[in-house]
Amino acid sequence: MYPKFAFLLPLCCLFALRTWASDPDPVQDFCIPNTNFDASARVPCKNPRLVTPDDFVFSGIKSPGNFSDTGLSAIPVNPTTFPGLNTLGMSFVRADFRPGGINPPHFHPRATETVYVILGKVYAGFVDSTNRVFAKVLEQGDVMVFPRGLVHFQMNVGKSPATVFGCFNSQNPGTQKIPNVIFGSGINDELLEKAFGLSLRQISRMRRRFLPRKA
């Protein structure tokens, strides 16, 4: 499994980078963030002579991360965790699903996403602006694209764990999960009551589920 993942990972990223690059074009070969950056010096990048091959290698997605209540483990990789991506207009994510696990409907306001199924069977799709659903069951080796800004989703429909690799054409794609946006924010209860036909009691129950937990 893993050798195939390693082989196709750069191809997936290169495809997204070259075909749909949406971030500003870089004006230099690379820009490894300078952790000792002095704003007054206006030098946010590390001196190229101090850059090493290690700055362009990331080993943090060799195994799944922690699983959520929805049966999903997602490890996002962006310049914050992998500085070598800085200014290159891309990022990626490893997502693992327990049987029946889901990645709830969500969207990325700043990026198109391609997903490659490494392992398992995943029901995946997106909804266009006319509310038409484009979805099917993907199997190992399949690739699907989710257009920028459109709501999309995934669910493990197999009897064993599933793993997918997603690649974005932005170093900061943003993620807005629909349940959290609707019920985990401060939208007025009366508005939600009228919009969804829910009672205030039902709305309160949903809020308790999706409101950010206080530390």
Closest CA to 123 of 135, 112, 111: 135
Known binding residue 47? Answer is no
Known binding residue 139? Answer is no
Known binding residue 106? Answer is yes
Kindly state the tokens that stand for 12: 């997936």
Known binding residue 113? Answer is yes
DSSP assignment of the chain equals: -HHHHHHHHHHHHHHHHHHH--SPPPSSS---B-TT--GGGT--BPPGGG--GGGG---TTSS-----TTSEEEEEESTTT-GGGTTSS-EEEEEEE-TT-EEEEEE-TT--EEEEEEES-EEEEEE-TT--EEEEEE-TT-EEEE-TT--EEEEE-SSS-EEEEEEESSS----EEHHHHHHSS---HHHHHHHH---HHHHHHHHHHHSPPP-
Known binding residue 152? Answer is yes
Return binding residues for Mn(2+): 106, 108, 113, 152
Return binding residues for oxalate: 103, 108, 113
Return binding residues: 103, 106, 108, 113, 152
